[in-house]
Amino acid sequence: MARRRVALYVQHLLGIGHLRRAAALARALDAAGAEVLVLSGGHPVAGIDFGGARLHQLPPAATADSDFSGLLDEAGRPVDDAWRARRRDELLRAVAAFRPGIIVIEMFPFGRRPFRFELLPLLDWAVVQSPRPLVATSVRDILVDKGKPGRAEEIAAMVRRYFDLVLVHGAQEMVPFERTFPAASAIADRLHYTGYIADLPDVRPGDRSRGEVLVSAGGGAVGAPLLEAALKARPLSRLKDRRWRLIAGQNLPPADFARLAAAVAGDPGIVLERHRTDFTQLLAQCHVSLSQGGYNTVMEILSLKTPAVLVPFADGAESEQSLRARILAERQAVDCLDPASLTPAALAAALDRRAALGGPAFTIAVDGARRAAALLLERDGA
């Protein structure tokens, strides 16, 4: 029997969380016997494991700033219509040559609206194929509220027109999808909660009593304020004599990294690094973690029961990380600080408190990639 073919589209812009989730899903599909083509539209990221999936790198796009005010091409220039046409045509050619039985589009139409120029043509292509491929969207548990009247209804109509499945990588009992998508009832027949996705390689439990303070900024593009706040909080913390490890992220601007490096130069108690391939192992054995509230890091924190303080990214209209952090703080799983009123003393106190309290007391299902893969292949075979 021929392997079922799955085309998986992902576009990361500011951080790398979308790409890591897509990679986990690609590995799960590959492990389940599918032939997978990942179509990635962001800048390449070292160390991302796609398993046996094949990667097709589209001409990369990035966001111009943290407000997502515009798109930049691979040379850092604003994209134009000619660039859009070239990328659309490359995407359609790659998918048509692969001839997938399943198409998974990460986030759209719940996000990634600037990429309608290529995604609507892709969906229109899928509709007229015979046999028509199964079409799914893969979306995290919490959406960003842009406050646009009628937008939720517009998205629901697009789902009903084009999509067979909406895979929500979360749990209804933790965050019902309707909490951030008010038109959820209109697509209830397509909605499926997969459980959360955590990228957890084999990790060894460590002695947290001897662990370090682990400060991480995800992809790093907007991580400089958190890293700088950690350095100011350190002298005020009861944990100041432990090693503090700062992982800046591959996308932290070089000038910001150079400024941090100068600030910690000569201090043997601080380690500053761009990236660690064993980050999950570090998270499993640290004394306490300080990070933003991104999906992937939070799922790893909960899975590993790591004592953690979250300072969610909340610039512009971003609300996703703040809501996730508040929900977990209400459950006393983490400490949460508002970045708008962050002070070194408050951060030091939160780290001391959470280190003393320990990690989350409850567990969550984090096999969402495997469950999503099973659902896709089951529906495709129905």
Q: Kindly write down the DSSP assignment for every residue of 259-294, as one continuous string.
A: HHHHHHTT-TTEEEES--TTHHHHHHH-SEEEE---
Cα dihedral sign for 312, 313, 319, 320?
A: negative
Cβ–Cβ < 8 Å for 307, 289: yes
Q: How far is CA 249 from the centre of its chain?
A: 14
Gap between the Cα atoms of 334 and 336, Å rounded: 6
Provide CB contacts within 8 A for 6, sequence distance 6+. Answer: 29, 34, 35, 36, 37, 100, 101, 102, 103, 104, 376
- Which residues in the chain are classed under CATH 3.40.50.2000? 5-196+367-381, 208-357
Which of 311, 313, 297 has the alpha carbon at shortest distance from 66? 313
CATH class, range 5-196+367-381: alpha beta
Provide CB contacts within 8 A for 12, sequence distance 6+. Answer: 18, 19, 40, 41, 42, 45, 219
Query: Cis peptide before 109, with omega less than 30 degrees from 0?
Result: yes
Gap between the Cα atoms of 94 and 81, Å rounded: 20
- Please name the residue that has the structure tokens 């109509």: 157
Phi, psi for 373 (deg, rounded to 5): -60, -45
**Which residues pair with residue 247 across a beta bridge?**
216, 273
Gap between the Cα atoms of 251 and 275, Å rounded: 10
Q: What DSSP state is assigned to residue 130?
A: S
pLDDT at 307: 97
Which of 90, 93, 84, 104 has the alpha carbon at shortest distance from 38? 104
Angle at 87 between CA 84 and CA 88, to 5 degrees: 80
Cβ–Cβ < 8 Å for 18, 296: no
Cβ–Cβ < 8 Å for 141, 166: no
CB atoms within 10 A of CB 262: 9
Gap between the Cα atoms of 130 and 379, Å rounded: 17
- Give the CA-trace dihedral at 111, 117, 120, 124, to 10 degrees: -170
pLDDT at 64: 72
Gap between the Cα atoms of 139 and 317, Å rounded: 18
83-103 in b/e form (b: 16+ CB < 10 A) is bbeebbebbeeebeebebbbb
> How many alpha carbons fall within 13 Å on the CB side of residue 217?
27
What does the block give as tokens for 363?
């567990």
Q: What is the pLDDT along the chain (382 residues), one digit of tens a residue?
A: 578 999 999 999 877 889 999 999 999 999 999 999 999 999 998 889 999 999 999 999 988 766 566 899 999 999 999 999 999 999 999 999 999 999 999 999 999 999 999 999 999 999 999 999 999 999 999 998 766 789 999 999 999 999 999 999 999 988 999 999 999 999 999 999 999 998 776 788 788 999 999 999 987 788 899 999 999 999 999 999 999 999 998 888 999 999 999 999 999 999 999 989 899 999 999 999 999 988 889 999 999 999 999 999 877 566 888 999 999 999 999 999 998 889 999 999 999 999 999 999 887 888 999 999 999 999 865 5
pLDDT at 67: 59
Cβ–Cβ < 8 Å for 136, 103: yes
- Please name the residue that has the structure tokens 């005010």: 69
CB atoms within 10 A of CB 135: 20
Gap between the Cα atoms of 138 and 72, Å rounded: 24
Which of 352, 373, 226, 375 has the alpha carbon at shortest distance from 291? 226
Q: Decide yes or no: CATH 3.40.50.2000 for domain 208-357.
A: yes
pLDDT at 69: 67
